[in-house]
Chain A
């Protein structure tokens, strides 16, 4: 059972870390992209 617990802990950890990092990067990039698009649209209107 120890091996089983270790194996599942490894797989849950991998999925958890991947999903967490993906979601954090998506929200971070979305905020940065919105800021850059706002800058570009202001410059174009000027």
Chain B
């Protein structure tokens, strides 16, 4: 695993360093927002990690979707590993979003969750689907039937991604809009956007590093399973 893992470890290390730097700059360099526009101005600093977490989760859903299609089209082992990696990372980043969002909501809105907000609810459902995928993978015996079911649910989950991503454009409720694109409307300073872009780049590198390491792990598990099967066969015959 040496060569591939080295790249994975390096990218993960760079990503974690960049994420830490984003946090540091977000707290020390980026200015505060207009206190008249926000109920809890200081709490806005959650977005330096909350938004890249959400972006990274969407990348993970894309990996999950490509893997599901590859599994259905060719019964590809790479496709199955992409499903494993995509669902693991989607759960990691999705949980980060679902946990940190309501904490910010409590400070800014006065309530942790708004059951009338399309983005919140579709994202919550998406994270629930991902939790099911990860639990199903670990609790069900590995076989074609299990893989087919998980791939089908992965495809269904991906259908929610554009709805969730564009919910604030189509159906604005409480959740803030797409602040990087609509920065003039949201009144964010350029320093804030610069730190956010650093956060985005850092989390993309972290995502790629973790995806490489996760894929290496699943490849090794598959190889281990194959060797154990081979040893069992030799004992029997």
Contacts and interface: CB of A to CB of B under 8 A. Distances in A.
A39 B231 contact: yes
Interface string A3-14: 110111011001
A26 B217 contact: yes
A23 B12 CA distance: 11
The residue among A14, A15, A19 with the most chain B CB atoms within 10 A of its own CB is A15
A36 B224 contact: yes
B103 A6 contact: yes
Interface residues of B, number: 38
A19 B210 contact: yes
Interface residues of A, number: 25
A19 B103 contact: no
A12 B203 CA distance: 13
Main secondary structure, interface of B, reads helix
A4 B100 CA distance: 8
Given A15-B16, A26-B220, A7 B99 contact: yes
A18 B53 CA distance: 14
A17 to B, nearest CB: 9
A7 B50 contact: yes
Contacts of A18: 92, 210
Interface string B20-55: 000100000000000000001011011001100100
A7 B1 CA distance: 35
B46 A4 contact: yes
A42 B208 CA distance: 37
Contact of B217 (A4, A11, A19, A29): A29
Contacts of B45: 4
Interface string B78-98: 000000000000001001100
Interface of B: 1, 5, 12, 16, 19, 23, 40, 42-43, 45-46, 49-50, 53, 92, 95-96, 99-100, 103-104, 106-107, 206, 210, 213-214, 216-217, 220-221, 223-224, 227-228, 230-231, 234
Interface of A: 1, 3-4, 6-8, 10-11, 14-15, 18-19, 22-23, 25-26, 29-30, 32-33, 36-37, 39-40, 43
